[in-house]
Structure 1
Amino acid sequence: MSLLTQAQTPGRFTIKGTVIDSSGTLLPSATVMLLTPQDSALVNFGRTNEQGELEFKNVKRASYLLKISYVGYLPYEQQVQPGEEAVVDLGQIQLKMLNQDLFEVVIKAARAPLSIRGDTVEYNAGSFKVPPGSTVEDLLRRLPGMQIEQDGTIRSQGQEVKRVTVDGKRFFGDDPKMATKNLPAEAISKVQVFNGKSEQARITGVEDGKQEKTLNLELKDSHKKGGFGKATVGAGTDNRVEGKVNYNRFNDKQQFAIVGFGNNTNQSGLSWDDYQDFRGSQSFNWGDDGDFGFSSGGGVRFVSFDDDQESLTIQAGRSSRDRGFTKNWAGGANYNYDTKKTKFSSNYFYNQTDQTLDVLSNRENFLSSGTFQTSDNNTRSNLNMNHRGGIRFEHTLDSLNTIIVISNARFGRGSSRYNSLQEFYRGENNLSTRSNINNNNRFNSFSMGNTAIFRHKFQKKGRNFAVSVGYNINNSDGDATQRSVNEFFREEGDSTAVINQDNQTVSLRTQFKASALYIEPLGKKFFWETFANFSLRQDEVDRDVFDISQEAQIRNTFLSRYYTNDFVYNRFGSSMRYSYKGFNLSAGLARVYFDLKGQFSQDQTTPEIGRVDRQFTRWTPSASLNYSMKNNKYLFMNYNLNVDEPPIRDLQPIIDNSNPLYIREGNPDLQPQANHNVSAGLSMFNPGNFTQFFINVYYAYYLNQIVYNQTVSQDLITTTRPVNISGGTNLGSYINYGFPLVKTKSTLNINSSIGFNKNLIYVNEILNTTNTDRYNVGLRLDLTPSDKFTLYTNANWNFSNTRYSLNTTQNQKIVNSSYGAEMNVKLPAEMYFSSRFNLNTFVNDRFGFNQTQPILNLSVYKIILKDKKGEVRLSAYDLFNQNRGITQYATQNFVSTEQVNTLARYFMLSFTYNMRGVTGGVRRRGF
Structure 2
Amino acid sequence: MKKCLLLLLISCIGWSAMAQTTGRYTIKGTVMDSTGNKLPGATVMLLLPKDSSLVNYGRTDTEGALEFKNVKRITYLLKISYVGYLPFQQEVKPTDEAINELGTLQMKELNQDLFEVVIKTARAPLSIRGDTVEYNASSFKVPPGSTVEDLLRRLPGMQIGQDGSIQAQGEEVKRVTVDGKRFFGDDPKMATKNLPADAISKVQVFNDKSEQSRITGVDDGKREKTVNLELKDSHKKGGFGKATLGAGTDSRAEAKINYNRFNDKQQFAIVGFGNNVNQTGMSWDDYQDFRGSQSFNWGDNADFGFSSGGMYYYSSGDDESVTLQPGGGSRDRGFTKNYAGGANYNYDDKKTKLNTSYFYNQTEQTLDAFSQRENFLSNNTSFRTLNDNTRLNFNANHRGNLRFEKKLDSLNTLVIFSNGRYGQGNNRYNSLQQFYRNDGTLSNQSTINNFNQFNSFAIENAMIYRHEFRKKGRNFAASVTYNVSNSQGDGDQRSVNEFFFEGNRPDSLLNISQVNQTNSLRNVIKSSVYYIEPFAKKFFWETFYNFSYRTDEVDRDVSDRRGDVEVRNSFLSRYYTNNFTYNRLGTSVRYSHKGLNLVAGLAGQQFKLRGKYAEDQTSRDFGRIDRTFFAWIPNVSFNYNLKNNRYLRANYSVSLQEPSIRDLQPIVDNSNPLYIQIGNPDLLPQTYHNASVGYSHFNPGNFTQFFVSLNYTYNVNQIIYNQTIDENFVTTTRPTNITGGERLGVYGNYGFPLKKTKATLNVFSSLNFSNNITFINAVENQTRTDAYNVGVRLDLTPVDWLTFYPNANWNISNTRYSINTSQNQQIVNNTYGAEMNIRLPKDIFIKSDFVHRSYVNERFGFNQQIPILNMAVYKLFLKNKRGEMRLTAYDVFNQNRGITQFASQNFVSQEQIQTLARYFMLSFSYNMRGMKSTIRRQSY
TM-score per shorter chain, which class?
over 0.9
Q: What is the correspondence of 1:668-687 to structure 2 with a 5 Å cutoff?
A: 668-687=681-700
CA distance in structure 2 between the aligned counterparts of 1:21 and 1:283, rounded to whole angstroms: 60
Instruction: Tell me, yes or no, if the aligned pair for 1:15 and 1:88 is still in contact at 8 Å.
Output: yes
Deviation of the 1:80 alpha carbon: 1.1
Deviation of the 1:428 alpha carbon: 5.1
Are the structure 2 counterparts of residues 109 and 681 from structure 1 closer, same or farther at C-alpha, using a change threshold of 3 Å? same
- Pick one of 218, 227, 238 that aligns with 2:239: 227
State the partner residue of 1:380: 391
Shifted more, 633-642 versus 656-665: the winner is 656-665
CA distance in structure 2 between the aligned counterparts of 1:245 and 1:598, rounded to whole angstroms: 50
CA distance in structure 1 between the aligned counterparts of 2:368 and 2:806, rounded to whole angstroms: 32
For residue 37 of structure 2, give the secondary structure of its aligned residue in structure 1. coil
- Pick one of 343, 351, 373 that aligns with 2:353: 343
- Pick one of 396, 403, 414 that aligns with 2:425: 414
Instruction: Tell me, yes or no, if the aligned pair for 1:5 and 1:57 is still in contact at 8 Å.
Output: no
State the partner residue of 1:250: 262
Are the structure 2 counterparts of residues 538 and 440 from structure 1 closer, same or farther at C-alpha, using a change threshold of 3 Å? same
Instruction: Tell me, yes or no, if the aligned pair for 1:6 and 1:58 is still in contact at 8 Å.
Output: no
CA distance in structure 1 between the aligned counterparts of 2:388 and 2:570, rounded to whole angstroms: 32
CA distance in structure 1 between the aligned counterparts of 2:880 and 2:893, rounded to whole angstroms: 37
Deviations 1:467-508 (A, max 9, x none): 000000010101000000000001497010000000000010
Instruction: Tell me, yes or no, if the aligned pair for 1:289 and 1:451 is still in contact at 8 Å.
Output: no
Deviations 1:175-228 (A, max 9, x none): 000000000000000000000101110100001101110100000011111100
Q: What is the correspondence of 1:837-856 to structure 2 with a 5 Å cutoff?
A: 837-856=850-869
Are the structure 2 counterparts of residues 7 and 749 from structure 1 closer, same or farther at C-alpha, using a change threshold of 3 Å? closer
Instruction: Tell me, yes or no, if the aligned pair for 1:482 and 1:658 is still in contact at 8 Å.
Output: no
Q: What is the correspondence of 1:794-805 to structure 2 with a 5 Å cutoff?
A: 794-805=807-818
CA distance in structure 2 between the aligned counterparts of 1:824 and 1:511, rounded to whole angstroms: 51
Deviation of the 1:309 alpha carbon: 10
Please tell me the residue identity of whatever aligns with 1:873: R
Q: Are 1:55 and 2:67 matched, yes or no?
A: yes
Deviation of the 1:287 alpha carbon: 3.1
Please tell me the residue identity of whatever aligns with 2:890: Y
CA distance in structure 1 between the aligned counterparts of 2:213 and 2:232, rounded to whole angstroms: 30
Aligned residue-pair number = 918
State the partner residue of 1:637: 650
Deviation of the 1:765 alpha carbon: 1.0
Deviations 1:730-777 (A, max 9, x none): 011000000000000000000011011000001111110000000000
- Pick one of 158, 168, 182 that aligns with 1:156: 168
State the partner residue of 1:190: 202
State the partner residue of 2:219: 207
Instruction: Tell me, yes or no, if the aligned pair for 2:291 and 2:322 is still in contact at 8 Å.
Output: no
Please tell me the residue identity of whatever aligns with 1:9: T
Deviations 1:707-752 (A, max 9, x none): 1111111111111121111100001100000000000000000001
Are the structure 2 counterparts of residues 126 and 494 from structure 1 closer, same or farther at C-alpha, using a change threshold of 3 Å? same
Q: Are 1:363 and 2:377 matched, yes or no?
A: no
CA distance in structure 2 between the aligned counterparts of 1:509 and 1:374, rounded to whole angstroms: 37
Deviation of the 1:83 alpha carbon: 2.6
Please tell me the residue identity of whatever aligns with 2:598: L
Deviation of the 1:245 alpha carbon: 0.2
Q: Are 1:79 and 2:91 matched, yes or no?
A: yes
Deviation of the 1:85 alpha carbon: 1.9
CA distance in structure 1 between the aligned counterparts of 2:18 and 2:868, rounded to whole angstroms: 39
Deviations 1:576-625 (A, max 9, x none): 00000110000000011000000011111111331111100001100000
CA distance in structure 1 between the aligned counterparts of 2:322 and 2:723, rounded to whole angstroms: 19
State the partner residue of 1:511: 524
Deviation of the 1:847 alpha carbon: 1.4
For residue 312 of structure 1, give the secondary structure of its aligned residue in structure 2. coil
Shifted more, 92-101 versus 24-33: the winner is 92-101
State the partner residue of 2:583: 570
Deviation of the 1:302 alpha carbon: 4.1
Q: Are 1:403 and 2:414 matched, yes or no?
A: yes
Please tell me the residue identity of whatever aligns with 1:296: S
State the partner residue of 2:795: 782
Are the structure 2 counterparts of residues 309 and 573 from structure 1 closer, same or farther at C-alpha, using a change threshold of 3 Å? closer
Q: What is the correspondence of 1:163-562 to structure 2 with a 5 Å cutoff?
A: 163-303=175-315, 305=317, 311-314=323-326, 320-369=330-379, 370-427=381-438, 429-491=440-502, 494-562=507-575
RMSD (Å) for aligned C-alpha atoms: 1.6
- Pick one of 104, 110, 118 that aligns with 1:92: 104
State the partner residue of 1:101: 113
CA distance in structure 2 between the aligned counterparts of 1:8 and 1:86, rounded to whole angstroms: 14
Deviation of the 1:281 alpha carbon: 4.9
Instruction: Tell me, yes or no, if the aligned pair for 2:772 and 2:782 is still in contact at 8 Å.
Output: yes
CA distance in structure 1 between the aligned counterparts of 2:869 and 2:315, rounded to whole angstroms: 40
For residue 740 of structure 2, give the secondary structure of its aligned residue in structure 1. coil
For residue 860 of structure 2, give the secondary structure of its aligned residue in structure 1. coil
Deviation of the 1:371 alpha carbon: 0.2
Deviations 1:814-873 (A, max 9, x none): 000001100000011100001000000000001110000000000000001000101000
Are the structure 2 counterparts of residues 821 and 8 from structure 1 closer, same or farther at C-alpha, using a change threshold of 3 Å? closer
Instruction: Tell me, yes or no, if the aligned pair for 1:354 and 1:384 is still in contact at 8 Å.
Output: yes
Q: Percent identity?
A: 68
Deviations 1:315-368 (A, max 9, x none): 76xx51111000000000000001111111001000000011011000000001
Please tell me the residue identity of whatever aligns with 1:440: F
For residue 298 of structure 1, give the secondary structure of its aligned residue in structure 2. coil
Please tell me the residue identity of whatever aligns with 2:654: L
- Pick one of 691, 706, 723 that aligns with 2:719: 706
Deviation of the 1:656 alpha carbon: 2.7
CA distance in structure 1 between the aligned counterparts of 2:848 and 2:323, rounded to whole angstroms: 37
Instruction: Tell me, yes or no, if the aligned pair for 1:860 and 1:873 is still in contact at 8 Å.
Output: yes
Q: What is the correspondence of 1:730-749 to structure 2 with a 5 Å cutoff?
A: 730-749=743-762
Are the structure 2 counterparts of residues 309 and 778 from structure 1 closer, same or farther at C-alpha, using a change threshold of 3 Å? farther
Deviations 1:141-163 (A, max 9, x none): 00000000000010011100001
Instruction: Tell me, yes or no, if the aligned pair for 1:311 and 1:418 is still in contact at 8 Å.
Output: no
Are the structure 2 counterparts of residues 494 and 309 from structure 1 closer, same or farther at C-alpha, using a change threshold of 3 Å? farther
CA distance in structure 2 between the aligned counterparts of 1:863 and 1:285, rounded to whole angstroms: 46
Please tell me the residue identity of whatever aligns with 1:856: L
Deviation of the 1:651 alpha carbon: 2.0
CA distance in structure 2 between the aligned counterparts of 1:314 and 1:698, rounded to whole angstroms: 30
Deviation of the 1:279 alpha carbon: 3.5
Instruction: Tell me, yes or no, if the aligned pair for 2:47 and 2:77 is still in contact at 8 Å.
Output: yes
CA distance in structure 2 between the aligned counterparts of 1:82 and 1:260, rounded to whole angstroms: 54
TM normalised by structure 2 equals: 0.96
CA distance in structure 2 between the aligned counterparts of 1:536 and 1:307, rounded to whole angstroms: 16
State the partner residue of 2:706: 693
Instruction: Tell me, yes or no, if the aligned pair for 1:199 and 1:288 is still in contact at 8 Å.
Output: no
CA distance in structure 1 between the aligned counterparts of 2:327 and 2:365, rounded to whole angstroms: 14
State the partner residue of 2:892: 879
State the partner residue of 2:610: 597
CA distance in structure 1 between the aligned counterparts of 2:410 and 2:822, rounded to whole angstroms: 69
Deviations 1:92-116 (A, max 9, x none): 1111111233224466432100001
CA distance in structure 1 between the aligned counterparts of 2:767 and 2:255, rounded to whole angstroms: 42
Instruction: Tell me, yes or no, if the aligned pair for 2:318 and 2:662 is still in contact at 8 Å.
Output: no
Instruction: Tell me, yes or no, if the aligned pair for 2:199 and 2:235 is still in contact at 8 Å.
Output: yes
TM normalised by structure 1 equals: 0.97
- Pick one of 107, 111, 135 that aligns with 2:123: 111
Structure 1 unpaired stretches of 5+? none
Deviation of the 1:36 alpha carbon: 0.6
Q: What is the correspondence of 1:3-14 to structure 2 with a 5 Å cutoff?
A: 9-14=21-26
CA distance in structure 1 between the aligned counterparts of 2:745 and 2:618, rounded to whole angstroms: 53
State the partner residue of 1:767: 780
Please tell me the residue identity of whatever aligns with 1:176: P
CA distance in structure 1 between the aligned counterparts of 2:511 and 2:322, rounded to whole angstroms: 18
Are the structure 2 counterparts of residues 308 and 909 from structure 1 closer, same or farther at C-alpha, using a change threshold of 3 Å? farther
